[in-house]
């Protein structure tokens, strides 16, 4: 049995449970520390610290587990471009989700509107890039190191989406999470997903500040004027589809640049295939490995039903 997968799934389940109970401990501190400081504390206390403890307890190498490898200059450029291209993709998925669910990010931004741009960037860009990436594209992805990249990306994206504990954020978090996995697997560096995450969120923060300042309100009115929501959503979908294809092409190009030095090599993939063949003959092993993930999904669905229905 590939115990690393079981450990990764158990760790993901633990983190989500911590995120569920975190408000019980942090809510009383909002009046004392402030809304922004409490949210930052949540990330470091209930994500980063468990991540570090998990690595220490399992006796793993920090550098190996988190894939701490320096990025090449061309990798940095490609990752930044991908982060920019992901904006309309996430925008469409967020708009689609907002039809059914409220957007918690908008509420958070409104509460933080009086804070400096620097603080907002630290809270919404730097902190998630460090804490969320260390957890998902670090510890959890390391647990899936012997699985093929597609399986690792889908599961990681699923966990990343659930970790946000918001159905409105789930779709775009899932897609971004899968993209981030490909970046890390190809470059063998978590700094790829950290940089992409940071750049993506930074653009969101700056755009939101511009919107709240009234800079983009007129342009929004122009875009929406004369169009119903369905037509606008269709327009955003067409733009998102084009940008998604561009992201796929860039990921393929990045893969080509690293085809001789990444761990998508055939030796690893063949190992994974043998692992899957063995697992298929022992259905119980698969059930045990993924049972925490199934429990995680069930808890998430029940929690969201309780909150939004």
The average confidence (pLDDT) of the chain is 86
pLDDT tens digits along 45-64? 999 999 999 999 999 999 99
**CB neighbour burial string for 247-265, b if at least 16 within 10 angstroms, e if fewer:** beebbeebbebbeeebeee
**pLDDT for 118 beyond 60:** yes
Q: Is residue 239 in a domain? A: yes
Q: Is residue 273 part of a domain?
A: yes
Q: Is residue 51 part of a domain?
A: yes
Residue 192 lies in a domain: yes
Is it the case that residue 285 has pLDDT exceeding 80?
no
- What average pLDDT does the segment 220-248 reach? 81
pTM: predicted TM-score of the whole model, two decimal places: 0.88
Report the alpha-carbon distance of residue 176 to residue 181 in Å, rounded.
9
Report percent pLDDT > 70 for the chain: 81
Structure tokens at 163: 């970790």
pLDDT above 70: residue 267? no
- pLDDT, residue 72, reads 95
Is residue 220 one of the residues assigned to a domain?
Answer: no
Overall number of domains in the chain: 1
- Nearest 5°: the CA angle 267, 269, 271 is 70
- Give which of 97, 100, 83 is closest to 169, Cα–Cα: 97
Per the structure, the complete domain to which residue 267 belongs is given by: 3-215+225-308
- pLDDT interval class at 287 (50, 70, 90): confident
pLDDT digits over 148-190, tens only? 999 999 999 999 999 999 999 999 999 999 999 999 999 999 9
What distances in angstroms separate CA 294 from CA 15, 267, 289, 297, one per listed residue? 15, 30, 10, 5
Asked whether residue 302 is domain-assigned, the answer is yes
Q: Is 288 part of any domain?
A: yes
């Amino acid at each position: 049995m590939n115990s690393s997968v079981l450990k990764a799934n158990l760790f993901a389940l633990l983190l989500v449970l911590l995120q569920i109970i975190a408000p019980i401990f942090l809510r009383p501190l909002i009046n004392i520390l402030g809304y922004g400081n409490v949210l930052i504390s949540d990330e470091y206390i209930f994500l980063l610290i468990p991540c570090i403890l998990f690595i220490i307890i399992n006796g793993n190498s920090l550098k190996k587990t988190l894939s701490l490898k320096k990025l090449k200059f061309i990798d940095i450029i490609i990752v930044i471009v991908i982060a920019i291209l992901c904006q309309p993709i996430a925008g469409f998925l967020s708009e689609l989700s907002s039809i059914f669910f409220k957007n918690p990010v908008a509420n958070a931004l409104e509460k933080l509107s009086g804070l400096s741009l620097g603080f907002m960037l630290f809270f919404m860009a730097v902190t998630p890039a460090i804490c969320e990436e260390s957890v998902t594209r670090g510890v959890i992805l390391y647990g899936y190191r012997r699985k093929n990249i597609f399986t690792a990306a889908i599961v990681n994206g699923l966990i990343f989406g659930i970790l946000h504990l918001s159905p409105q954020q789930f779709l775009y978090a899932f897609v971004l999470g899968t993209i981030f996995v490909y970046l890390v697997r190809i470059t063998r560096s978590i700094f790829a997903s950290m940089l992409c995450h940071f750049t993506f969120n930074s653009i969101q923060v700056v755009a939101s500040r511009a919107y709240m300042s009234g800079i983009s309100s007129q342009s929004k009115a122009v875009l929406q004027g004369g169009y119903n929501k369905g037509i606008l959503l269709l327009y955003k979908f067409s733009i998102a589809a084009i940008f998604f294809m561009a992201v796929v092409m860039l990921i393929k190009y990045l893969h080509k640049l690293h085809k001789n030095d990444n761990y998508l090599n055939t030796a690893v993939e063949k190992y994974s295939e043998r692992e899957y063949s063995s697992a298929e003959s022992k259905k119980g092993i698969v059930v045990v490995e993924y049972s925490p993930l199934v429990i995680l999904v069930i808890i998430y669905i029940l929690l969201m039903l309780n909150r939004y229905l």
